[in-house]
Amino acid sequence: MAMDPQRLMRLATVASTSVALILLGAKAVAWVVTDSVSMLSSLVDTSLDLVGSLITFFAVRQALVPADADHRFGHGKAEALSGLVQAGFIAASGCALLFAVVERFNAPKQVREEGVGLVISALALVLTIGLVAFQRHVVRRTGSIAIGADMAHYGTDVVATLVTGVGLFLSGQFDMPLIDSSIAGFVALYLLHGAWKIGRDSLDILMDRELPDEDRRRIEEIARRNPGVKDVHELRTRSGGATRFIQLHIDVDRNLSLIAGHDIGRQVQGEIAKAFPGAEIILHVDPSHAS
């Protein structure tokens, strides 16, 4: 039996927070032992994951609060707000990490005890890949923007952990500390790219950007497929986090009775609801001006 989407979202926030706490402690130990700036970059990334996971934890719970008298369209945009805050944290930390990399380039240090760092990197990789796979499942089921942003964090963490392990190994093997610094610089740039993407997606939600053209075409096709529909116009769509909002007008034969026209509208609305589960649909039935 499939798990309830809301329960699935809550479980995803608990899982991400738990993983972040475990990895934060492990990577902090690895950084102290190895004195590796690439391990520091991975630690910074994990710290951001923890902050992001905590933000997501509270944002998802707020977003799942049902619509009320003051919030007729629900609280879904709390997810987008959390994504925007996370993007700011990621961008700031990416910039701070770049400064640390520049400083290490000017005063290179060879890493120590790289074996410890490699073991912890392997542990982090296994845990993070498992979490990302679970989060991807949740996003597919729920469309949650907050969990999607959290998944993007951990996606960057997979890359950061992988390249950190490679950097530690190569730096130790070839006695070249600049390899370690170069890897950290790559992670910093990757963080900045992730911040830009999360921020852009969150702003799209907050600014009521239309659904993708493919979805809009699908809605029109569904409406026009009904033989009683003469025309479709004034299609407006937006996303409020996990909930999509669809509004459109359809034209029907002006000679039909009110009940017959209403029945056509109900049929079209039902077909759109099947194609877009959970969507809020407002459909207006207008008399056709065509003869």
- Going 37 to 40 to 42 to 48, the CA torsion angle's sign is negative
| CATH 1.20.1510.10 residue window(s) in the chain | 5-206
pLDDT value of residue 88: 80
| CATH 3.30.70.1350 residue window(s) in the chain | 213-287
Read off the pLDDT band of 64 (50, 70, 90): low
Task: Give the Cα separation of 67 and 64 in Å (integer).
Answer: 9
pLDDT per position as a tens digit, 173-188? 666 656 666 776 777 7
Indicate the pairing of strand 243-252 with strand 280-287: parallel
pLDDT per position as a tens digit, 241-277? 667 889 999 999 999 998 999 999 999 999 999 999 8
CATH number of 213-287: 3.30.70.1350
H/E stretch holding 151? helix 145-174
Read off the pLDDT band of 103 (50, 70, 90): low
Angle (CA) 245-246-252 rounded to 5° is 160
Residue with tokens 């963080």: 191
Select, from the ranges 103-107, 111-115, 216-220, the one with the highest average predicted confidence (pLDDT): 216-220
Cα distances from 225 to residues 218, 230, 267, 271, in angstroms, run 10, 10, 11, 10
Residue with tokens 């939600």: 205
Cα distances from 108 to residues 11, 95, 168, 177, 235, in angstroms, run 43, 19, 14, 6, 59
Q: Give the Cβ contact number of residue 160 at 10 Å.
A: 31
- Going 268 to 272 to 278 to 283, the CA torsion angle's sign is negative
Cα distances from 173 to residues 104, 110, 112, in angstroms, run 19, 11, 11
CATH number of 5-206: 1.20.1510.10
Helix count and strand count (H, E) for the chain: 8, 3
